[in-house]
Chain A
Amino acid sequence: MPLFWLFLIVLAIAAVGFVIGRARAMTSAGGDSRDLHSLPSYYGWNVALKAAVPAFVVLVVWLLAQPFYINSTVSKMLPDSAIPESSSRGLVMAEVRRAANGLDNAVAQGVMTEEFARNARADITDVTQRLKDAGQIVTSQITQPVMHAAQRYRVLSQQGTTAMTIAVVAIALIGMFLGFRETTAAFRARNVVEAGIRALLVAAASIAVLTTLGIVLSLVFNTIEFFRLYPAWEFFTVLEWAPSFSGRGGSSELGVLPLLWGTFYISIVALAVAVPIGLFAAIYLSEYASPKVRAIAKPMLEVLAGIPTIVYGLFALLTVGPLLLSVFGDDGLGWMQAGTAVMTAGLVMGIMLIPFVSSLSDDIINSVPQSMRDGSYGLGATKSETIKQVIIPAALPGIVGAILLAASRAIGETMIVVLGAGAAARLSMNPFEAMTTVTAKIVSQLTGDADFASPEALVAFALGMTLFVLTLGLNIFALYIVRKYREQYE
């Protein structure tokens, strides 16, 4: 594992830098650390940081940039004639990467010589067969342009890795040397090290911004690509969701409305379960429960929040679905055809959201000032009257915020609907029918083996964009309401 070794080498250089930097500082002060500007270890850290940080930055940037560069270079090499009618450049490039990987592994296993892997011509020798015999997964038949590109790909990758190793080690050594040279008794090592650490802290904090940027960019670019292939107007207005299987031709109907309807319907069912139960639970916990009951009941409810959603999905599929089917199915009322339905997913999602609503509302109810309660009791109101007419109105903005946050959680929930709600996109009012949601369709459109450039795969990004905008809007609105409320009492 050359990368791992490279990592260790850089660390080793930094460690050596620490030792010699510290030693040099001590020598320059004549062995008395009181004559140094900073503590001796700061001189060591100065050298170590100068060796390691730039080297790691270069390493990461190089690792990110190299595949990108090699891909575009090799891709340019492929003549247009090498790309079959039904395929695309991206797919052929995937083939090239697979072939190159196969060659690498075959050489590593010793079934092929390096010489052979470098120079074999696919139209003369049976490279495909030999690779298959070596247990490598390759395309059915490697053509000469693909073989040529794969060989070029290997050469470039190997050169790139070698160059990277040399560059990273060189930068680490140069950094260490520079740090070592400036180490004198008067050098303000602590200030330099602290400035460096501060820069690292800022970099860590900026990752949140980069993540958001990454999300927005990846969604926006792919969504624009999608709208180039499929009119945006139809995406938002067509009442049908019927993607054709990719690459087979035929037009797909990709309307988002049935999916949005399914999402909202399931979320409404979920909220209809979670809001009353969660709210009453919160009221009981904060106003009625003795400390003992509270100490047991609150953690038990919060266990519900810690269960992975896939487990809820299984619960919906294996328990709730069949249970509902036995009551509302053909044996009972005859409203339900299969175990997967809006009701199944909605009920289970509601259970998942109970602790979410209850602990947020609990916090908010607890933050209503005690004086308001005392005032109400003093006027002769009972506890429930105080709650209904004083506490709830005072806490209302916060509770609405909590419900909105729960709604955004419900809209973004994936695994419960993938397992519990069915896969058919429908515009129907019957809650016992199978429907599907935006999130479930993102999963199904991106996990097939659809071509990445087809509208059927790209539509997932447009769906993701819709989802992102929806939940972001809800979150911002909810936080705004909560914050506005908090300002009143604190």
Chain B
Amino acid sequence: MTDASLNTPGAGPAAKPKSSLAVLDDRTKRRNASEARFKAYGLGAILIGIFFLVVLAVSIIRSGAPAFSRTVLDVEFNLSQEQVDGAEKELFKTKAYEQLFIAKLEEQLQASGMQVAFDAGAIERIVGKTGATIREHYKANPGDIGKPVSFELAASSRVDGYFNGRVTREALQDSRFLQLSDLDLVDALHDAGIIRGSFNWTFITGADSGVDNPGGAGIGASVVGSFFMMLVVLFLSLPIGVAASIYLEEFAKRNRFTDLIEVNISNLAAVPSIVFGILGLAVFIQFMHLPQSAPLVGGLVLTLMTLPTIIISTRASLNAVPPSIRDAALGVGASKMQAVFHHVLPLAMPGILTGTIIGLAQALGETAPLLLIGMVGFVARGYPDGIAAALPNRTRPCLPRSIHGRHAPM
């Protein structure tokens, strides 16, 4: 706008008589350069955004991928009835089993021609307490006594780290968790084929673990908890959301009450999620004494949180149904209710489902409100025990909360 006037004849026709459109003057060049710069800023902004997305994805995948593999020790084990009886007579029963295990391991190492000295402490640092695992197995399966059984024991998370490069010989400091000499043993075991990598099924199926054993943690129980919560959210928020939208879009008259509802919905959509957590804590737990950490309470809180999302998208898709559909239905004698439920709603259904899925995804990833109502993985670790617990009324850890518990620097 500002430059348009400069090329008018009044601005000094004699100054530059030979100006031509084919030759760019300085001013035009500057303007073109600034145009190119501006365009580059925009492109740069987009590229920065996409760059962040890629970095985020790569960093999450890189730090997450090792969790899917783990290091295990394969040990062929054969206990006779006498050995079991002997171990059961000892004062420290698991210790006795551990010694049996070490003897066996030594035997296997020697069989493959390795000669490495090690003690019980090293074994404990590498695979943790083995005695209890072995004892439990024989207690649970007395039939296995006298038969060869192959155990697959998970190595400690530091040994795991040694194999995928997280722990290096140079950086390792001797501690009660792992010593430099242990790594020699680990290498020997690796060469003998006793230690190998395998897919970490515990991570997929297991329950949350304590701080003492981060490598043994699984997401199984948390996924079940999240699933129950999503069921509650789906069964409450979809019908309520659709009903509310139908009322507001099709039936509500413009009055104070309708305005109040609409203002409330648009405000609730922007209320920070942690405030919904406070609501859940104060109303559902403090006032109504519903059980803490139950998927039911988590589901109720997340339902209230996702309702505005669902209502807003449902209203938009109801609004997008052409009025001719309603008019035609009314024209052939349907009541208003019939026109909406038989004709408008089915047409709006794809949009409604899209909105619902977005709302559910948002609820699935939500963490902050669940912290407040105590969906804590360390409190409730187990799987649902039986069909009664399949009703969302028991203490369940949920997925985002487990992630938080594992990394919170608190």
Q: A295 → chain B, closest Cβ, in Å?
A: 13
Q: A14 → chain B, closest Cβ, in Å?
A: 16
Q: A205 → chain B, closest Cβ, in Å?
A: 4
Residues of B within 8 A of A308 (CB): 364-367, 400
Q: Which of A219, A405, A447 lies in contact with B374, CB distance below 8 A?
A: A447
**With A277-B45, A412-B272, A460-B278 given, is the CB distance from A288 to B39 under 8 Å?**
yes
**With A218-B278, A380-B4 given, is the CB distance from A211 to B304 under 8 Å?**
yes
B52 close to A (CB within 8 Å): yes
**CB interface residues, B 23-38, toward A, < 8 Å:** 31-32, 34-35, 37-38
C-alpha gap A442/B279 in the complex (Å):
12
B248 to chain A: closest residue by CB: A205
C-alpha gap A415/B272 in the complex (Å):
11
Residues of A within 8 A of B63 (CB): 314, 318-319
Q: A40 → chain B, closest Cβ, in Å?
A: 15
B246 close to A (CB within 8 Å): yes
Q: Mark A269-303, 1 if CB is under 8 A from B, else 0.
A: 00000001111110111011100000001001101
- State whether B49 touches A304 (Cβ < 8 A): yes
A126 close to B (CB within 8 Å): no
A389 to chain B: closest residue by CB: B1
- State whether B366 touches A205 (Cβ < 8 A): no
Q: B272 → chain A, closest Cβ, in Å?
A: 2
- State whether A301 touches B267 (Cβ < 8 A): no
**With A310-B400, A384-B35, A414-B274 given, is the CB distance from A447 to B371 under 8 Å?**
yes
C-alpha gap A194/B391 in the complex (Å):
33
Residues of A within 8 A of B261 (CB): 205-206, 208-209
C-alpha gap A388/B42 in the complex (Å):
13
Q: Mark B92-109, 1 if CB is under 8 A from A, else 0.
A: 000000000000000000
Q: Mark A72-108, 1 if CB is under 8 A from B, else 0.
A: 0000000000000000000000000100000000000
A178 close to B (CB within 8 Å): no
C-alpha gap A354/B53 in the complex (Å):
11
**CB interface residues, B 1-25, toward A, < 8 Å:** 1-4, 7
B181 close to A (CB within 8 Å): no
**CB interface residues, B 250-267, toward A, < 8 Å:** 251-252, 260-261, 264-267
A309 close to B (CB within 8 Å): yes
- State whether A208 touches B60 (Cβ < 8 A): no
- State whether A222 touches B367 (Cβ < 8 A): no
B115 close to A (CB within 8 Å): no
A358 close to B (CB within 8 Å): yes
B192 close to A (CB within 8 Å): no
Q: B245 → chain A, closest Cβ, in Å?
A: 8
Q: Mark A460-490, 1 if CB is under 8 A from B, else 0.
A: 1100100110011001100100000000000
A383 to chain B: closest residue by CB: B35
- State whether A201 touches B268 (Cβ < 8 A): no
B262 to chain A: closest residue by CB: A208
Q: B404 → chain A, closest Cβ, in Å?
A: 6
C-alpha gap A200/B244 in the complex (Å):
9
Q: A4 → chain B, closest Cβ, in Å?
A: 6
Q: B22 → chain A, closest Cβ, in Å?
A: 17
Of A63-71, A226-234, A249-257, which binds chain B?
A63-71
**CB interface residues, B 291-343, toward A, < 8 Å:** 304, 307-308, 311, 335-337
Q: Which of A284, A405, A476 lies in contact with B43, CB distance below 8 A?
A: A284
Residues of B within 8 A of A280 (CB): 41-42, 44-46
A303 to chain B: closest residue by CB: B53
- State whether A311 touches B271 (Cβ < 8 A): no
C-alpha gap A311/B34 in the complex (Å):
39
- State whether B287 touches A68 (Cβ < 8 A): yes
- State whether B365 touches A376 (Cβ < 8 A): no
Residues of B within 8 A of A464 (CB): 274-275, 278
- State whether A208 touches B42 (Cβ < 8 A): no
Q: Mark B49-78, 1 if CB is under 8 A from A, else 0.
A: 110110110011001000000000000000
Interface size (A, Cβ < 8 Å)?
104
B149 close to A (CB within 8 Å): no
- State whether B286 touches A452 (Cβ < 8 A): yes
Residues of A within 8 A of B273 (CB): 412, 414
- State whether A284 touches B32 (Cβ < 8 A): no
C-alpha gap A390/B4 in the complex (Å):
14
A472 to chain B: closest residue by CB: B267
**CB interface residues, A 349-401, toward B, < 8 Å:** 351, 354-355, 358, 376, 379-385, 387-390
Q: A413 → chain B, closest Cβ, in Å?
A: 7
- State whether B46 touches A1 (Cβ < 8 A): no
C-alpha gap A277/B251 in the complex (Å):
43
- State whether B43 touches A423 (Cβ < 8 A): no
Q: A316 → chain B, closest Cβ, in Å?
A: 10
Residues of A within 8 A of B52 (CB): 304, 351, 354
C-alpha gap A207/B404 in the complex (Å):
31
Residues of A within 8 A of B271 (CB): 215, 412, 468, 471-472
C-alpha gap A278/B45 in the complex (Å):
7
- State whether B371 touches A281 (Cβ < 8 A): no
**CB interface residues, A 313-351, toward B, < 8 Å:** 313-315, 317-319, 340, 351
B269 to chain A: closest residue by CB: A475
C-alpha gap A408/B269 in the complex (Å):
12
- State whether A471 touches B252 (Cβ < 8 A): no
Q: A289 → chain B, closest Cβ, in Å?
A: 8
**CB interface residues, A 191-250, toward B, < 8 Å:** 194, 197-198, 200-202, 204-209, 211-212, 214-215, 218-219, 221-222
Q: Mark B237-253, 1 if CB is under 8 A from A, else 0.
A: 00111011011100110
Q: Which of B1, B41, B60, B404 lies in contact with A315, CB distance below 8 A?
A: B60
Residues of A within 8 A of B407 (CB): 313-314, 317-318, 419
Q: Which of B39, B59, B247, B371 lies in contact with A201, CB distance below 8 A?
A: B247
- Interface pairs (29), CB distance under 8 Å: A4-B391, A67-B290, A201-B243, A206-B261, A207-B240, A207-B304, A207-B307, A208-B307, A208-B311, A209-B264, A215-B279, A278-B45, A279-B45, A280-B44, A315-B59, A381-B1, A415-B367, A415-B400, A415-B404, A423-B409, A442-B372, A443-B368, A446-B278, A447-B376, A464-B274, A464-B278, A467-B275, A472-B267, A476-B267
Q: Which residues of A contact B (CB under 8 A)?
A: 1, 4, 64, 67-68, 71, 97, 190, 194, 197-198, 200-202, 204-209, 211-212, 214-215, 218-219, 221-222, 276-281, 283-285, 287-289, 297, 300-301, 303-304, 306-315, 317-319, 340, 351, 354-355, 358, 376, 379-385, 387-390, 405, 408-409, 411-415, 418-419, 422-423, 439, 442-444, 446-447, 452, 460-461, 464, 467-468, 471-472, 475-476, 479
If A212-B264, A301-B49, A301-B50 are given as contacts, then 12 extra A-B residue pairs at C-beta distance below 8 Å, sorted by A number, are A194-B336, A201-B246, A208-B261, A208-B265, A218-B283, A276-B45, A277-B49, A304-B56, A314-B407, A383-B35, A460-B278, A467-B272
Q: Which residues of B contact A (CB under 8 A)?
A: 1-4, 7, 31-32, 34-35, 37-39, 41-46, 48-50, 52-53, 55-56, 59-60, 63, 239-241, 243-244, 246-248, 251-252, 260-261, 264-268, 270-279, 281-283, 286-290, 304, 307-308, 311, 335-337, 361, 364-368, 371-372, 374, 376, 388, 391, 393, 400, 403-404, 407-410
